[in-house]
Amino acid sequence: MIILGIETSCDETSAALVRDGRELLSEVTATQMEIHAAFGGVVPEVASRHHVEDITRVVENAFRDAAMTWADVDAIAVTCGPGLLGSLLVGVSAAKGYALATGKPLIGVHHIAGHVAAATLGTDVRPPFLCLVVSGGHTELLTVDEQFCFTKLGGTRDDAAGEAYDKVARLLGLSYPGGPKVDKLAFAGNGEAYAFPRGLLDEEGYDFSFSGLKSAVNNALTKQRNRREEISVEDVCASFQNAVIDVLVEKTRRALRHTGYTRLVVAGGVAANRGLRVRLGEFGEREGIDVVFPPLRWCTDNAAMIASAGYYRAQQGKESDLSLNAYAQLPLDTWQSWK
Ligand code: ATP
Ligand code: FE
Ligand code: MG
């Protein structure tokens, strides 16, 4: 089964052709990163406008690169939420237009289901597994069963991990998106230099909180600036990153123990983090857990993961119709309960 995936939930316009959820046939992505960097973050109106300009060419180039036509495609999968409403609407409208014109089935995909499915691209990784989702808008622990159905164990009560990275980067005067820059600087710093808080670590359950950590970084920086002390950006990054990773690893360890799963998939943009990869890799070796990270190119937003998730959704016998809408907020449970 060949699926055309379309992703426009944020600032990447992406289209991909994927066979049976795993085999990439082509992928074309137009990124707006540099455009938004000038503003220090994604400007929704600007993002929507660029999606409109790019979407047709991106889809056509995905077909060109795979040397395929609409006749080869079995279904169209599109991110329908969560994300920026105006951005999502461009992808959903395009997908509905293509579905109407070609008669191909339409599959609305939850963006986070896409991030999870990314771990199966180019591999034979199969559920069941525990999934740690760490992205710009989400920090969640999910169980994923054989049919690719999700159960949420817990999630962030305030900032997401990626959001915390981006906010701390901004406090340090680093440009958007800050996550990769903090990651790089952290490697040259001392992770014990600052004692930043480990949010909710003393609490049972699988919820996360990162806003206290961000405030602690802000307070430390303000104090040092007021005293005209020299600030080591590397030490701040390393100490911040240690605090984030300590919490992620410990909550994940508890969830694995509780559920008994022996495979862990790490998904979302922060799965690209080198520090997290090293620490979870060591943890996996020590505890006999199979830890799976998607390749870097599929950690951040892309359409291949949406085509892949669309395939698993189709296997569940679920399709959308032309009443499909775009949703800025879309709980995973709600999407899963759609017929
Ligand atoms: P969501 O998927 O929750 O809707 P999103 O699509 O904006 O949010 P992603 O594209 O999955 O998020 O990931 C982007 C986030 O990942 C940004 O916050 C970015 O800073 C962060 N990120 C990317 N690379 C790294 C890295 N190496 N270290 C830490 N964070 C990173
Ligand atoms: Fe994302
Ligand atoms: Mg992005």
- Quote the pLDDT of residue 285: 97
| Per-residue pLDDT tens over the stretch 249-272 | 999 999 999 999 999 999 999 999
Q: How confident is the model at residue 36 (pLDDT cuts 50, 70, 90)?
A: confident
Rama region for 260: left / alpha / beta (φ>0; ψ in -120 to 50; rest): left
Distance 299 CA to ligand 1 centre (A): 8
Total-model pTM = 0.95
How far does the centroid of ligand 3 lie from the alpha carbon of residue 112, in Å? 13
Q: Determine the distance separating the centroid of ligand 1 and the alpha carbon of 297, expressed in angstroms.
A: 12
Q: Tell me the per-residue pLDDT of 82-97, one tens digit each, with 9 for 90 and over.
A: 999 999 999 999 999 9
On whether the CB atoms of residues 14 and 6 are closer than 8 A, the answer is yes
pLDDT at site 33: 83
Q: Find, among 5, 2, 19, the residue nearest to 59 by Cα.
A: 5
| Helix H or strand E segment including 264 | strand 263-267
Pocket test for ligand 1, best of 301, 327, 330 (most atoms within 8 A of CB): 301
Beta carbons of 76 and 95 less than 8 angstroms apart: yes
Query: How many angstroms separate the CA atoms of 149 and 128, rounded?
Result: 9
pLDDT of residue 280: 98
* Residue identifier of the C-alpha nearest atom 12 of ligand 1: 136
C-alpha angle 185-187-190 in degrees, rounded to nearest 5: 95
Decide if pLDDT at 35 tops 90.
Answer: no
Indicate if the pLDDT at residue 41 is higher than 90.
Answer: no
* Helical ranges in the chain per DSSP H: 33-37, 44-66, 85-102, 111-117, 161-171, 179-186, 211-226, 233-259, 274-287, 304-315, 332-337
Distance CA 208, CA 154 (A): 8
Three-class DSSP category at 280: helix
pLDDT at 56 over 90: yes
Ligand 1 atom 8: the closest Cα is on which residue?
Answer: 136
Can you tell me which atom of ligand 1 is nearest the CA of 161?
A: 18
Output the CA 283–ligand 2 centroid distance in Å: 25
Looking at the CA of 160, name the nearest ligand.
1
- Measuring from each residue's beta carbon to the nearest atom of ligand 1, which residues come in under 6 Å? 10, 83, 111, 115, 135-138, 162, 165-166, 177-180, 183, 268-270, 272-273, 300-301
Ligand 3 centre to CA of 195 (Å) is 30
Q: What is the best residue among 10, 300, 305, 335 to mutate for testing ligand 1's pocket, by most ligand atoms within 8 Å of CB?
A: 300
ipTM for the predicted complex: 0.97
Name the residue at shortest CA distance from atom 30 of ligand 1: 179
What's the rounded Cα separation, in Å, for the pair 242 and 194?
Answer: 10
pLDDT band at residue 184 under the 50/70/90 scheme: very high
Q: For ligand 1, pick from 135, 140, 208, 248 the residue to mutate: most ligand atoms within 8 Å of CB.
A: 135
76 contacts 3 by C-beta, under 8 angstroms = yes
Closest ligand to the CA of 88: 1
User: Residue whose CA is closest, atom 5 of ligand 1?
Assistant: 136
Average pLDDT of the residues in 143-148 = 97
